[in-house]
Amino acid sequence: MNRLIIFDTTLRDGEQAPGFSMTVEEKVTMAKQLEKLGVDVIEAGFAAASEGDFQAVNAIAETIKDSTVCSLARSLHSDIEKAGEALAPAERKRIHTFIATSPIHMQYKLKMTPEQVLERAVDAVKFARNFTDDVEFSAEDAFRSERDFLFKVFEAVIDAGAKTINVPDTVGYAMPEEFGQLIEDIINNVPNIDKAVISVHCHNDLGLAVANSLSAIKKGARQAHVTINGIGERAGNAALEEVVMSIKVRHDYFKDVYTEINTKEIYKTSRLLCRITGSFVQPNKAIVGDNAFAHEAGIHQHGVLAHRETYEIMRAEDVGVPASKIVLGKHSGRHAFKTRLEELGYRNLSEEEVDKLFRKFKALADKKKEVFDEDIEALIFDELFRTYEEVKLVYFHVLSGNSAIPSSTVKIEKDGKEITATACGDGPIDSALKAIEKALGMTGRLKDYSIRSLSAGKDAMGEVRTVVDFEGTTVSGKGTSTDIIEASVKAYLDAYNRYIARKTFIEKRISEGV
């Protein structure tokens, strides 16, 4: 059997996508879940990129025990030293160093000759081995590189000590047949290729990242760079859930290739990423979308009820999608609630945490006829995973109607004091947000606002995501409630709290002379 190494870059390449930035604490939370998912390598960040990235890599290196923790580094001694320093506490660590090898990158971006690039690549790998024996080398824009030069670079870095050579389709230009052929050509033309693992890193600019990754795996690649939900630069990266489930469902096609991923944790991991980043997964997203296991057409329903495999090639339970969506209500007790938490994968909560969640659940159940799994997950995130609580909503009141000027009164708790403010607006949400801004004493520029229902029914939990610019700093926030105005206010306050946390952190580092 040939094991496929799953290299997750959600916390590095995924986070580089606009709107997906995470705090250090959020990255650690996500890394713990990736470890539980069974990811082989977690690329925790780019240690030299910023102090925040360094701290995130370092914190994850201190926390993660079962997965290898990796940091990206350019082919520069300063980058590699930072990566080595950040990774020092890790039980298993890898430095991933890279340099571009395509003519267009070498000429216009690097302004280096092929000879200089080759020398830099070899030097970087040798230097990285001072910090760890596990060194991965990436030839950025490999697919658009001249083949003979690419083969020469790979041979040289393997001789220098690289244990993994990564083949990126950096701009998502390749077709599956072409990319698979490139892997075959590397195997046939790099003499020492048997001493390294071939890895692939595919982008989704033409919607082919997963197809290209699978084509490469079929031809002999044994590591795949992936992200949860396929997030990443531009159109994203190959989605972990799609690559892993393709290997599992089509084992007849991939023969003896397998992964160590605990697929029952896939859905939970996807949802956690959405909660942390405030992003949504489109309903028709393969594997983890809300409609991935839904059947509305009568013919499909009849077929599935008669025999599941008529229209489903995998079971929802195989990826951790709960078989039952509606399970609890206001008459449910603590035991039933705790059991459902365990069924959803939250088995290690303390009794104090369960009690806290149960009180919130009962309050929600009084407002809703039925409580969905999505509602419970929203409560878990709000109560246990929220990082910053500098400002809290105490009270809000909205007056609106087709013959009234919308106005809102809000009360917030800030710095231990309660502040009340009133404002008018173009609508109830606009007036509420303006009242919040007046109470905060700061006006932000709302750059994006989106809303979706987390569950079914007229009393569904709504989730609002805001992207706000505060004094030139763009932050995202999210809020949930059965009342969409309340969810909007919570989302705006969440964005403000994230801004204050970031500002405080930067000011602290400046005062420390860092």
Question: What confidence tens digit (pLDDT) does each residue in 6-45 have?
Answer: 999 999 999 988 778 898 999 999 999 999 999 999 999 9
> Which structure tokens are listed for 44?
């925790």
Interatomic CA distance for residues 441 and 457, integer angstroms: 37
- For domain 391-510, the question of CATH label 3.30.160.270 is answered with yes
Start-end of H helices in 383-476: 428-440
Report pLDDT for 456: 65
In this prediction, residue 364 has a pLDDT band, given cuts at 50, 70 and 90, of: confident
> Which structure tokens are listed for 114?
């092929």
pLDDT higher at 386 or 358: 358
Q: Is it the case that residue 482 has pLDDT exceeding 70?
A: yes
For 1, 139, 157, 222, 476, the CA distances from 225, given in Å and listed in that order, are: 20, 14, 19, 10, 26
Q: Would you say 201 is a known binding-site residue?
A: yes
In 10-146, at which residue ranges do the beta strands (DSSP E only) sit?
41-45, 68-74, 93-100, 135-140
Find the mean pLDDT for residues 456-479.
Answer: 80
pLDDT more than 70, % of the chain: 88
Task: Find tokens 């878990």 and name the residue.
Answer: 380
> Which structure tokens are listed for 222?
């044994």
Report pLDDT for 376: 79
Give the pairing type, strands 326-328 and 371-372: antiparallel
Task: Find tokens 């790998």 and name the residue.
Answer: 125
For 25, 101, 126, 149, the CA distances from 113, given in Å and listed in that order, are: 42, 10, 20, 12
**What CATH number should be reported for the domain whose range is 2-277?**
3.20.20.70
Residue 381, number of CB atoms within 10 A of its CB? 19
Which amino acid is present at 316? A
* Best CA proximity match to 454, nearest among 380, 362, 393: 380
For 124, 161, 170, 185, 223, the CA distances from 115, given in Å and listed in that order, are: 14, 19, 22, 22, 28
| 281 touches 258 (CB < 8 A) | no
* Best CA proximity match to 473, nearest among 432, 445, 505: 445
Question: What confidence tens digit (pLDDT) does each residue in 272-322 have?
Answer: 998 888 788 888 899 988 776 653 334 443 443 454 556 567 888 888 886
Beta-bridge partner residues of 448: 467
Interatomic CA distance for residues 441 and 429, integer angstroms: 18
| 62 touches 31 (CB < 8 A) | no
| 215 touches 179 (CB < 8 A) | yes
Find the mean pLDDT for residues 357-363.
Answer: 87
Which amino acid is present at 83? A
Q: What angle do CA 464, 465, 467 make, to 5 degrees?
A: 145
Interatomic CA distance for residues 437 and 441, integer angstroms: 6
Report pLDDT for 304: 38
For 408, 461, 484, 494, the CA distances from 428, given in Å and listed in that order, are: 7, 18, 10, 19
Question: What confidence tens digit (pLDDT) does each residue in 164-200 have?
Answer: 999 999 999 999 999 999 999 999 999 999 999 999 9
Q: What angle do CA 40, 10, 52 make, to 5 degrees?
A: 110
| DSSP code for 284 | T
Q: Would you say 13 is a known binding-site residue?
A: yes
Backbone region of residue 452 per phi and psi (left: phi > 0; alpha: psi in -120 to 50; beta: other values): beta
* pTM for the model: 0.73
Question: What confidence tens digit (pLDDT) does each residue in 311-341 have?
Answer: 567 888 888 886 544 456 777 778 878 887 8
* Best CA proximity match to 429, nearest among 481, 363, 377: 481
Q: Is it the case that residue 67 has pLDDT exceeding 90?
A: yes
Q: Would you say 237 is a known binding-site residue?
A: yes
Interatomic CA distance for residues 154 and 144, integer angstroms: 15
Give the pairing type, strands 326-328 and 445-453: unpaired
- Sign of the four-CA dihedral 411, 412, 418, 420: negative
Report pLDDT for 295: 39
Q: How far does Cα 405 stand from its chain's mean position?
A: 41
Interatomic CA distance for residues 357 and 347, integer angstroms: 13
Question: Identical fold at 2-277 and 391-510?
Answer: no
In this prediction, residue 210 has a pLDDT band, given cuts at 50, 70 and 90, of: very high
Find the mean pLDDT for residues 435-456.
Answer: 86
Domains of the chain, residue spans: 2-277, 292-320, 322-385, 391-510
pLDDT higher at 373 or 435: 435
In this prediction, residue 495 has a pLDDT band, given cuts at 50, 70 and 90, of: confident
Find the mean pLDDT for residues 425-454.
Answer: 89
Q: Would you say 331 is a known binding-site residue?
A: no
Output the 3-class SS for 103-131.
HHHHHHHHCCCHHHHHHHHHHHHHHHCCC
What one-character-per-residue DSSP string does 319-374 give? GT--S-SEEE-TT--HHHHHHHHHHTT-----HHHHHHHHHHHHHHHHH-SSEEHH
Question: What confidence tens digit (pLDDT) does each residue in 90-127 have?
Answer: 999 999 999 999 999 999 999 999 999 999 999 999 99
